[in-house]
Copies of this chain bind each other. A is one copy, B any other.
Amino acid sequence: MKSGRLGIGAKLLAFAASLLFAVQASAQPDPLPSWNDGAAKQAIIAFVKDTTTHGGSKFVPPTERIATFDQDGTLWVEHPMYTQVMYVLERVPALVKAKPELAKVAPFSTVLELLKGDRAAMEKLTEADLIKLLAATSTGMSVETFGAEAKKWLAEAKHPRWKRPYTELTYQPMQEVLKYLRDNGYKTYIVTGGGQDFVRVYAERTYGIPPEQVVGTAGGTKYGYGKDGKPFLTKEPKLLLNDNDAGKPQGIHLMIGRRPYAAFGNSTGDRQMLEYTGAGDGARLMMLVMHDDAKREYAYGPAQGLPASKVGTFTQALYDEARKKGWTVVSMKNDWKKIFAFE
């Protein structure tokens, strides 16, 4: 009796579903409306078709569908300076307020000066300075406190050029790629040189990517107990993973444990991730976003004669490797109809 009732419902369901899917297939809208027709758009669509067509030679089982995305310069704007560096610098006044003795100590004193005037001059800070500033502003507190501080800043801070929150400066064409891949059974991951804890604060709301799918530069934590006996984790100034260059495939192995089928980047820091992805069997998609649109965004390389940049460097050697290995180079100027959702 039960199975009879179930059978009728199931058959009706299958029939209605087949009707619905037939209609949807014939009315399928463009999944990448912000992309101009061209080789890049075609490469993405062909890859998805190849890897999701049952019975095809390049079919990839749904559980193995992993796609990884660099963030800075690939999913959102990274010029004139990485968003997290802006965060670290803009945390310095609060830090100095809590510890006034730092006001006269470099690099904190340097940052206070910079914040009063020319923020672009922050390029002068050395990497050692930045590491010191990062440790001072982003460790020594509980992971919850760090998350709350970063969330508050992200809600208030504005990009100097567009005067909008940084989280609005994501690339609409890449948002469409994320959604298109997810709609086709791909798990989308961020694999960023940025701080894992920082990016996890907004990745779900901004990109639809949950915390457990954010791989980034990560520090250690220390387990301890509060006065109320409740345990909590404190962020420690101890580097576990530098998720740049070779650190990207290492981070992918550590956190995901599978080789991606698609990888997206925009700079030399993404080279090894794309090489590692491309070394797998079957269909693989490797893409590099080239910032060649000074008008709508920025132009920097130095590949193809674009102006050199320390932030998001795209060398000619990387460009040549991409051409040699069949990676797709995306021209922001030519391939993207639209850059931001708010345009």
Which A residues fall within an 8 A CB radius of B? 2, 5-6, 8-10, 12-13, 15-17, 19-20, 22-24, 27, 63, 66, 143, 187, 196-197, 200, 204, 210-212, 214, 218, 220-223, 230-233, 240-241, 246, 249-250, 253-258, 272, 275-276, 279
Complex: A316 Cα to B258 Cα, angstroms: 40
Asked if A16 contacts B9 (CB within 8 A), the reply is yes
Nearest chain B CB to A240 CB, angstrom units: 6
Q: A246's closest neighbor in chain B, by CB? A: B223
Complex: A230 Cα to B256 Cα, angstroms: 20
Contacts of A204 in B (CB 8 A): 63
**Given A257-B196, A258-B211: A272 and B223 interface contact (C-beta under 8 Å):** yes
Contacts of A231 in B (CB 8 A): 249, 272, 275-276, 279
**Given A231-B276, A250-B221: A256 and B6 interface contact (C-beta under 8 Å):** no
Q: A212's closest neighbor in chain B, by CB? A: B256
With A12-B20, A16-B16 given, name 12 new contacts (CB 8 A).
A6-B27, A196-B254, A212-B256, A218-B254, A222-B246, A230-B279, A231-B249, A231-B276, A233-B249, A233-B253, A240-B241, A240-B254
Nearest chain B CB to A37 CB, angstrom units: 23
Complex: A63 Cα to B2 Cα, angstroms: 33
Q: A228's closest neighbor in chain B, by CB? A: B279
Q: A251's closest neighbor in chain B, by CB? A: B221
Contacts of A63 in B (CB 8 A): 204, 210
* Copies of this chain per assembly: 2
Contacts of A196 in B (CB 8 A): 254, 257
Complex: A212 Cα to B68 Cα, angstroms: 13
Complex: A258 Cα to B197 Cα, angstroms: 11
Partner of A16, one of B5, B13, B22: B13
Contacts of A233 in B (CB 8 A): 249-250, 253, 276
Asked if A256 contacts B211 (CB within 8 A), the reply is yes
Q: A200's closest neighbor in chain B, by CB? A: B257
Nearest chain B CB to A26 CB, angstrom units: 8
Asked if A221 contacts B9 (CB within 8 A), the reply is no
Q: A215's closest neighbor in chain B, by CB? A: B255
**Given A221-B254, A279-B232: A16 and B12 interface contact (C-beta under 8 Å):** yes
Q: Which 7 A-B pairs have the closest CB atoms?
A: A211-B257, A9-B20, A223-B246, A12-B16, A13-B16, A9-B19, A212-B256
Contacts of A240 in B (CB 8 A): 240-241, 254
Partner of A23, one of B5, B23, B221, B241: B5
Contacts of A250 in B (CB 8 A): 220-223, 233
Nearest chain B CB to A261 CB, angstrom units: 14
Contacts of A17 in B (CB 8 A): 13
Asked if A257 contacts B214 (CB within 8 A), the reply is yes
Q: A230's closest neighbor in chain B, by CB? A: B279
Asked if A258 contacts B212 (CB within 8 A), the reply is yes
Contacts of A210 in B (CB 8 A): 63, 258
Q: A220's closest neighbor in chain B, by CB? A: B250
Complex: A15 Cα to B20 Cα, angstroms: 13
